Amino acid sequence: MVIETLYDLIDQEEEEHEEIVKELYQKYMEQDVLSVAVGTLKRMDETKNEELEAAFKCIGLVESIIDGSDDQDIISKVANSGSFLLWLLERVRRRTINMVKVYAAEMLSILLQNEENQKIVGEKKGVDILLKQLAYFKKRNPKGQEEIELMENLFNSLCLVVQYVPNRKKFLEDEGLHLMNLMIREKKMSRNSALKVINHVVSGYEGRDNSIKYIEILGLKTLFPLFMKTPKRNKKTGHTENDHEEAIISIIGNLMRNLSGSLKRRLVDKFVELDHAKSERLLELHFKYAEKMEDAEEEVEQQAAMLAQEGVEMDEDMAYALRLEKGLFTLQQIDYIIVELYGSGIESLRERIISHLSMRKSSLKQIREVVKDYADNLGDGENEEAIEQERNRLLELAMGLM
């Protein structure tokens, strides 16, 4: 078969003749080999081993074209050539789990890094399709590495789809929050990825509707037990304790931003109940991540020294990015929540925060500086006015610690 020959040729030649292979990729695009591959995929009968393997190689050919091209718009071109994106969505929708479905889910997660593709998938009921596929893992763990890979790629695709803001409404209407919340309650392997999805849909001002809905479905009752006791590392999926903590803290931080009135008060009250147990936990996490940042400073200095030996100077942006990678973002979210609680007007919360800090020979000053630094480094975005308002709000909260 022609497709198999092309796949084998690429596999053999990539490392030995890089320039020739790049030229070959260009010819593939000119001759629209992608459409041929998609047409071939549509005719495959995966119940036959030979055709199953050929379908797998067709997808591999497409991935090779993406990897080997210098074209910045290659992901968009690949997605639209022969409706490859829609074929992937349809293949993921089918129940049969085999190596082709697993590969299709992986390719879908690659192509959905493009905003236009996110829009297309949303318009084709892709959010509903992904949710229905993930529902399979609600009460059962994946069987073997193949199913684990499938599940994680489906979750990654969902996270990417909801980055396109209009798809968050579809997620809400398709009861995505209910499914994610149930997955967390079931304590299966899907739990950490479900947390990651929730974090995506409640993030930013665009996450306000999902934030409100999350409170209404009693999501806090599911979330806070995990906040109080971090699940251990899952060796099969690779999710660590830090992954869980970072996702949960980020969700709480986003809820604090997006909620108001009685709904926000319900969130704040969680830190008061049971003799402020959750406030104590929050402050424990503050010290944990503050210590991590002390270690990170040594790594930043070491990295700067290594770059200096190569004649490269580490600028502030590089150093800041490294700190974020080492846990600074989570510390910022923790300290942001602390200043929100401190400014809530609940005197017992203020007293508990000050008392706990004093016991550890710390003070509000450290928290204030972290939040001010966070405000100063808020990134640029399309809505500059909203970002500036948030920056001013954060600075006002930080100054309230004086």
Per-residue pLDDT reduced to its tens digit, 164-220: 999 999 999 999 999 999 999 998 999 999 999 999 999 988 999 999 999 999 999
Domain shared by 264 and 177, yes or no: yes
Q: Looking at the domain assignment, is residue 157 inside a domain? A: no
Domain assignment present for residue 139? The answer is yes
* Residue 285 and residue 199 share a domain: no
The structure's pTM equals 0.88
Q: Is 322 found in the same domain as 224?
A: no
94 plus 132 within the same structural domain = no
pLDDT for residue 2 is more than 50? no
What is the count of structural domains for the chain?
A: 3
For 254, the token pair is: 């986003």
Task: Give the count of alpha carbons within 13 A of 192, CB side only.
Answer: 20
Q: Given a cut of 60, is residue 82 above it in pLDDT?
A: no
Same domain membership, residue 210 and residue 229: yes
Nearest to 331 by CA among 280, 373, 359, 391: 373
Domain that holds residue 78: 1-111
In a domain, residue 116? The reply is: no
Mean pLDDT value of segment 349-353: 94
Report if residue 68 sits inside a domain. Answer: yes
Mapped to the 3 state alphabet, what secondary structure does 88-114 carry?
HHHHHHCCCCCHHHHHHHHHHHHHCCC
What H or E segment, with its residue span, contains residue 346?
none
Mean pLDDT of the chain, nearest integer: 87
Asked if residue 135 and residue 90 are part of one domain, the reply reads no
Is 276 a domain residue? Answer: no
Do 246 and 330 touch, CB atoms closer than 8 A?
Answer: yes
| Residues 132 and 245 grouped into a single domain | yes
Q: How far apart are CA 309 and CA 155, in angstroms?
A: 42
- If asked whether residues 211 and 177 sit together in one domain, one would say yes
Confidence class for position 316, pLDDT limits 50, 70, 90: confident
Q: Greater confidence, 77 or 342?
A: 342
Which is more confident, 292 or 381? 292
pLDDT band per the 50, 70, 90 thresholds, residue 11: low
Q: Answer yes or no: do 295 and 258 share one domain.
A: no
Report if residue 351 sits inside a domain. yes
Burial of 232 (0-12, 13-18, 19+ CB in 10 A): exposed
**Range 343-359 average pLDDT:** 93
Whether the pLDDT of residue 339 is over 60: the answer is yes
Q: Which of 270, 289, 322 is the last residue of a domain?
A: 270
Do 107 and 132 belong to one domain?
no
- Please state, in angstroms and rounded to a whole number, the distance separating the CA atoms of residues 191 and 194: 5
Say what the pLDDT of residue 96 is: 86
Question: pLDDT higher for 166 or 311?
Answer: 166
Residue with the larger pLDDT of the pair 75 and 20? 75
Contact 187, 225 (CB under 8 A): no
